[in-house]
Amino acid sequence: MDMKTILLFVHVTCFAAWFGTVLASLFLLRTLESRLTETAESAVENGFLLREFIRLETKVADVAFIGVVLSGILLASLFHGWTFWVIVKSLLIVLQVALTMGYIIRAIQPLTYPCTLESFRNWYKLFAISLTMFALVLCVTFFLL
């Protein structure tokens, strides 16, 4: 295998891992929704489970994100070039991280459990932001690059 193929493999694998962590979090939160919005006794235990999962998930997502960025920079620098659409894709990834982190700080970190169903829906808004940005990046990648 040549270097370009290896870098593409790393880039796609890291992107899939990053996307997978988001989906795994979505599925876990969907499963825990009733337990985090109802009784105080189950919410404490399940809140701890959620925080522990997010802590571990963040480690995986961080490694995957760094892999996406580094392999993307190498691919652009060595093989593809810094075209307009490569820059657009890069800016979309930066925007995704900024929007996601901003929303986490504003709406997710203040949550305490048990919480109301309306407050819990902030999680779903976070996933809507993240998944929309993933879709935009994929559209640029597959249709415009």
State residue 14's pLDDT score: 98
State residue 38's pLDDT score: 82
Distance of CA 7 to the CA centre of its chain: 21
pTM: 0.91
pLDDT digits (tens, 9 = 90+) for 17-39: 999 999 999 999 999 999 999 87
Contacts of 35 (CB under 8 A, 6+ apart): 42, 43, 46
State residue 131's pLDDT score: 97
Distance of CA 83 to the CA centre of its chain: 25
Q: How many domains does the chain have?
A: 1
Query: Residue-wise pLDDT tens for the chain (145 aa)?
Result: 799 999 999 999 999 999 999 999 999 999 999 999 987 788 888 999 999 999 999 999 999 999 999 999 999 999 999 999 999 999 999 999 999 999 999 999 999 999 999 999 999 999 999 999 999 999 999 998 7
State residue 33's pLDDT score: 94
| Alpha helices per DSSP H over the chain | 3-37, 40-75, 84-103, 117-139
Other CB atoms within 10 A of residue 109 CB: 8
State residue 1's pLDDT score: 78
State residue 42's pLDDT score: 82
The C-alpha atoms of residue 4 and residue 56 are separated, in whole angstroms, by 31
Distance of CA 87 to the CA centre of its chain: 20
Question: Residue 40 is part of which domain span?
Answer: 3-144
